[in-house]
Amino acid sequence: MAKYSRKSQKTVESAMRRKKKGTLRSGRSGKKVTSRKQAIAIGLSEAREKGAKVPAPKKKTAKKRTTAKKKAPGKKRATAKKRTTAKKRSAKKSAGRRTTAKKKR
For residue 46, pLDDT beyond 70: yes
**Which helix (DSSP H) or strand (DSSP E) does residue 60 occupy?**
none
Mean pLDDT of 39-65: 82
Whether 77 shows a pLDDT value over 60: the answer reads no
- Count Cβ neighbours within 10 Å for each residue of 64-81 and write b for 16 or more, e otherwise: eeeeeeeeeeeeeeeeee
Neighbours of 48 (CB within 10 A): 16
pLDDT at res. 70 = 62
Span 39-61, average pLDDT? 86
Which segments of 22-61 does DSSP mark as H helices, in order? 36-50
Average pLDDT for 32-61? 87
Q: What is the pLDDT of residue 21?
A: 92
Predicted TM-score (pTM) of the model is 0.50
Sequence letter at residue 17: R
pLDDT tens track for 26-40? 888 989 999 999 998
